[in-house]
Amino acid sequence: MADHELAPTPAPVSATVALTFDDGPHPDSTPELLDALTAAGHRATFFLCGAQAERHPDLVRALDRAGMAIANHSWSHPSLPGMPLPAVHDEIHRTNRVLTELTGRPPVLFRPPYGATDPTVARVAAEAGLTETLWDVDPRDWDGTAPAEIVAVLATARPGDTVLLHDHGNRNTVTALPAVLAALTARGLRSAALPH
């Protein structure tokens, strides 16, 4: 390289994004997502549905053992705004109980299904000791986005962004993840679990 040519400045090693996976755990996707993350040395946050966690407790424990953050995504994934207060309470608190039983500690983060919230939902979550967490980048992997498009959208993620992905048997997300992680690493970015 000639003296006048400047090499691109890599991002600091401490620069992170937060990959998050909603709707799991799911036996058709969680193990492969976890394998890709651990092989690349990245961490992520899994917003789990309580019914799925109860159905697949070994997957919850595997995520927890691997250092992934475990968070609350309601019991059965309904749109919570407008539901009767006891139902909202049950969706959130029932999931907290199951995740606490499986990991030995209560979750501290909550993502409302569809990102749909209102003051009642926020209050019930806060009373349960949870902080609502949404996202900055959404490749719409839930809508059949092709793996290459998922990778391209995530190439726009900036340090500090929270990325929405899904863990519900979606093969496109599973297929895209190794390339996503490689691209983040090449940019000097790491995926880190949200504080838990």
Catalytic amino acids? 22, 166
> Does residue 25 have a cis bond before it (omega within 30 degrees)?
yes
Q: Which amino acid is at 175?
A: T
Q: Tell me the C-alpha distance between 148 and 164, whole Å.
A: 16
Extract the tokens encoding 5. 């040519």
Residue 42 and residue 183 in contact, taking contact as beta carbons nearer than 8 Å? no
Q: Tell me the C-alpha distance between 8 and 15, whole Å.
A: 16
**Residue 137 contacts by C-beta under 8 Å, 6 or more apart in sequence?**
153, 154, 156, 157, 161, 162, 163, 164
**Residue 38 contacts by C-beta under 8 Å, 6 or more apart in sequence?**
66
Closest CA to 108 of 117, 119, 95, 120: 95
